[in-house]
Amino acid sequence: MAVTATQVKELRERTGAGMMDCKNVLVETDGDIERSIEILRERGLAKAAKKAGRIASEGLVRIRFSPDFSKAAMVEVNSETDFVAKNEDFIGFVDRLSELAVESEWKDAEELLEAGYDSGSVRDRLNALISTIGENLSLRRAQKLERPGAVHVGYIHGGGRIGVIVGLETEASYAEVETMGKDIAMQIASMNPKFIDESQVDPEYVESEKKILVQQALNEGKPADIVERMVAGRLKKVLKESCLLEQKFVKNADLTVGQYVGEAAKSIGKPVRIADMARYEVGEGIEKRQENFAEEVAKQIG
C-alpha cells in the first residue's frame, strides 16, 4: 500500500526516528503504525523518544554571518548536561547548524529542523546524535537578522553560554564598525537590555512594571497620595535600565551607550544607528530540575 505523509509524520512524532527510517519501515509493514514502532525500537532507531521528556537546559549558542555581514543567524541547541555541550560531535553539529541557518530560508526553528543536512534533515541528524550521545538534545530557538543597509556584528561569551548579534544601520564597512559593534554586543551580553530605546518599549511592559512598582511602594507603607509620583520616578529609572541606548556604557561609565555610539560614529566619519539586536543565553527561562546525586545513583542501581 502507498504510505502517506500523515503516517510518516505520526510515526516520527511517536518515535523520534528519522523521516526516511519511518517511511521505509511503514512500507515494510504496509502502513501498520504499531508494528512499525516495534521494529524501530528493535533496531534502536526510536531511542530519541525515550529521552524527549528529560529536561535539556545546558547547551550552546552559536552565531554566523553572511560573507558581507548583511545577514546574521543565531541558534541555541540544548543538552541535559554541560559535559555533552563540550562533546566534539555536538559542537560540530551546532556549528554546522548555525551555518545552515544563515544560508537557508526558514521562518522558525521547527522549519529549520526540516532543512537539508547531509543525506537527511537537521532533525534526522539531531535524532542520530540523541541516540549516540544518550541525552535529550533539542533545537530550542533560532533567529535570523537581515536588514538592507545594515552591518551585523556579534559576540560570544563563555564559550557559547551567551550569544549576541547587533545590526548597525550605516554606510560604513564591517571593518570600520567592528570594534564599536563588539563593544555594544558585550554591553548587551552583560546588561541584557530589553529594548534599543524608549520608542520600542512595549506598553504592556510599562503597565506591568508600573503595577509592580505601585505594589512595592504600598508595601513599604508609603501614603497613597505620593505613590503615583514615586512610581513615575522609579519607572523612569527602570526604563533607562531596560533601554540599551540609555544604559551606562560598561567600558566607560561617564557615557551612555547612545553617547558612545555618537562619538564612535563621529570618529568613523559616517552615521551609525543601532537597528537590531538579539541575545540568547543558554537555558534562560527553562526550569532546571534539581537532582540529588545519591538518589540518582540509587535509581540507576535499583
What pTM does this model have? 0.74
Task: Give the Cα separation of 145 and 102 in Å (integer).
Answer: 9
pLDDT score of 54 = 63
Q: Rounded CA gap, 21 and 36, in Å?
A: 10
Give me the chain's average pLDDT, please.
Answer: 87
CATH code: domain of residue 233: 1.10.286.20
Q: What is the pLDDT of residue 200?
A: 86
Residues 152 and 279 occupy one common structural domain: yes
Same domain as 19, residue 46: yes
CA nearest to 87, candidates 146, 149, 130, 41: 130
Evaluate whether residue 297 is within a structural domain: no
Instruction: Tell whether 189 is covered by a domain.
Output: yes
Determine, yes or no, domain membership for 302: no
DSSP-derived 3-state class of residue 248: strand
Number of independent structural domains in the chain: 4
Confidence category of residue 49, pLDDT binned at 50, 70, 90: low
| pLDDT (0 to 100) of residue 295 | 53
pLDDT tier at 164, thresholds 50, 70, 90? very high
> What pLDDT, on the 0 to 100 scale, is given for residue 296?
47
**Domain ranges, residue 73:** 53-146
Residue 181 pLDDT level (bands cut at 50, 70, 90): very high
Asked whether residue 103 falls in the same domain as residue 169, the answer is: no
CATH code at position 171: 3.30.479.20
State residue 292's pLDDT score. 47
Q: 288: how many CB neighbours lie within 10 A of its CB?
A: 10
Angle (CA) 61-186-184 rounded to 5° is 120
Q: Is there a domain that residue 293 lies in?
A: no
Of the three residues 99, 123, 146, the one that is the final residue of a domain is: 146
Among the residue ranges 22-36, 43-57, 203-217, 273-287, the one predicted with the least confidence is 43-57
State yes or no: pLDDT of 143 exceeds 80: yes
pLDDT(288) > 90: no
> How do residues 10-38 score in pLDDT, each as one tens digit?
888 777 777 888 888 999 999 998 888 88
Instruction: Examine the domain organization and report whether 59 and 98 are in the same domain.
Output: yes
- The CA distances from residue 147 to 71, 168, 190, 193, in Å, are 7, 9, 25, 21
- Give residue-wise pLDDT tens across range 220-234: 888 877 887 787 788
Q: Which residue has the higher pLDDT, 113 or 230?
A: 113
State yes or no: pLDDT of 66 exceeds 60: yes
Whether residues 112 and 156 share a domain: the answer is no
Q: What does DSSP assign to residue 200?
A: G
Residue 297 has pLDDT above 50, yes or no: no
| C-alpha distances in Å from residue 96, one per residue of 44, 46, 63, 93, 102 | 25, 24, 11, 5, 10
